[in-house]
Structure 1
């Protein structure tokens, strides 16, 4: 990262899916800002098949060659043991944990009628469970620290997607998983704030091996997203929690989620016809939804 300021000096940061794409960019950016990094990656293919420690090891090599500190973790963070060992790796290697960046994921895109149950389960597992379990184990550590009277300024950055915000044709499993991550982010922010933990999410748009086929015209780089992630993962982001940001190239957008729109109250039970008439009037006064990605 150019123009490094040391904003994460002394912090210990876990990045999942750190071997390639966005995760690699985040890991390198945190290290450039003074953080010690635990780089997790199973080294799987685009569809989650296979396994190799080499991507995580390569990122660690890049960080250490530049004078930084990093260690690789090759465990499956969608398992209890893998997630627990990931948090343990940070604590045992560096004696603390300050930031968790949940980024790991893969795609198995199909139209709904062609989407196999295994494709659904695999994508939900890596994205939703792969966010939940590291968050659970990191949060348990931070809660223990806070209860012991030790100050906590912890940060979690989850990774959602425009598919989770708006939907995406041919990505029903992925869109559902990414929408679930937003819900998890909101709940974790509300539950963990008392312990000094801030939880936010980003919806990045960048050209990686995961997006190159789905969004062929996308030219933004993973490195363009990382500055916001680094800031959210630093102590400088104090007071920012429970929010979702879109990040693409030089653009940052605060995403505003569901909130009450036009409403009608009869004060008694509606008949189906009355309910339909009321709904149509309310829809006429409401903002139309943003189009689903890929819809015609």
Structure 2
């Protein structure tokens, strides 16, 4: 472990869900090297204990906390135990997840619900459990784990992709609601060789996609100077950002020919030259109303 002066998360308490293996384990170990006291959450008690022991063996501070992220009572008890032990919660990394990959035609609704329940509802349960704690201390850093499957789609991952993009929506609103309380909410879109990605990614790519190469991205998302509402894409030591953009578009108006005019002007609708990332959802409505008023003024001037 580095000296305290070189550990930017010294004194911070971090919870990492699904931290018993793979990417979650890499996250927990990395945050510990940066000075955080780490709560290692996992469905498997033995795995959580093992990762907590690894952190302690390296001179860090850790607490194992076995619980399912879908069990609100168990997560609530975990949060209470963390507060009793360390008195605060600064960082939540929502990493826990599962895959049930099939083409949509072969996918059962049970598999769809299960994946959404773990990724989306599990993250919401954990966020809800820490939210009032972070508001009261007027400081918090929350990271959602999204995915390229949610941002752009992948064959056979309708359930996973839907849940992962929903987490971006959760991030957007929590960031707005948490801003005045010093709570920053961001998303990490990782590419890493884990149990979840074997069979999905080509074998020759797995060596380059060490989960440990993703975890440094957390420092930018959970540090003192963290952004909010960022989507950080990370894999193989490469980092990029993604945004949900709104094109400038064009005013089509009403009437029986509106649909035909839209089809004719489709290139203008999708033109990205003047695209923006809106600060909030109603910005879309504001832009649409402003466009309608401008065009009405032009017609009647």
TM-score by length of 1: 0.85
CA distance in structure 1 between the partners assigned to 2:256 and 2:147 by the alignment: 38
CA distance in structure 2 between the partners assigned to 1:65 and 1:285 by the alignment: 55
Residue in 2 aligned with 1:243? 230
1:107-126 equivalences under 5 Å are 107-126=99-118
Q: Deviations 1:200-228 (Å, cap 9, x if unpaired)?
A: 00101111111121112343111111111
2:214 aligns to what SS in structure 1? helix
Distance 1:26 1:284, change over 3 A: closer
1:14 aligns to what SS in structure 2? strand
Offset, 1:255: 0.7
CA distance in structure 1 between the partners assigned to 2:81 and 2:66 by the alignment: 11
2:63 aligns to what SS in structure 1? strand
Offset, 1:270: 4.5
CA distance in structure 2 between the partners assigned to 1:81 and 1:165 by the alignment: 31
CA distance in structure 2 between the partners assigned to 1:135 and 1:157 by the alignment: 10
Residue in 2 aligned with 1:140? 132
Residue in 2 aligned with 1:197? 183
Residue in 2 aligned with 1:41? 42
The question of 1:88 aligning with 2:80 is answered: yes
1:174-213 equivalences under 5 Å are 174-213=160-199
1:226 aligns to what SS in structure 2? coil
CA contact (8 A) 2:252 2:261 kept: no
Q: Which moved more, 1:117-126 or 1:65-74?
A: 65-74
Which consecutive segments of 4 or more residues in structure 1 shift more than 2 A? 1-5, 216-219, 266-273, 275-287
1:11-50 equivalences under 5 Å are 11-43=12-44
Gaps spanning 5+ residues in structure 1: where?
44-52, 147-151, 288-296
Offset, 1:259: 1.5
CA distance in structure 2 between the partners assigned to 1:77 and 1:284 by the alignment: 39
Q: Which has the higher helix share?
A: 2
TM-score by length of 2: 0.84
Residue in 1 aligned with 2:290? none
Distance 1:212 1:281, change over 3 A: same
Q: Deviations 1:9-33 (Å, cap 9, x if unpaired)?
A: 0110000000011100010011111
Offset, 1:87: 1.7
Distance 1:2 1:34, change over 3 A: closer
Q: State the structure with more CA Rg.
A: 2
1:92 aligns to what SS in structure 2? helix
Q: Deviations 1:91-132 (Å, cap 9, x if unpaired)?
A: 111111110010000100000000001100110000001111
2:150 aligns to what SS in structure 1? helix
Offset, 1:139: 0.9
Between 1 and 2, higher relative CO (CA 8 Å, sep ≥ 6) is seen in 1
The question of 1:258 aligning with 2:250 is answered: no
Residue in 1 aligned with 2:140? 154
Matched pairs, number: 269
Offset, 1:265: 1.5
Offset, 1:248: 1.1
CA distance in structure 2 between the partners assigned to 1:215 and 1:70 by the alignment: 32
* Equivalent position to 2:216, from 221, 227, 230: 227
Offset, 1:269: 2.9
1:114 aligns to what SS in structure 2? coil
Gaps spanning 5+ residues in structure 2: where?
274-301
Residue in 1 aligned with 2:152? 166
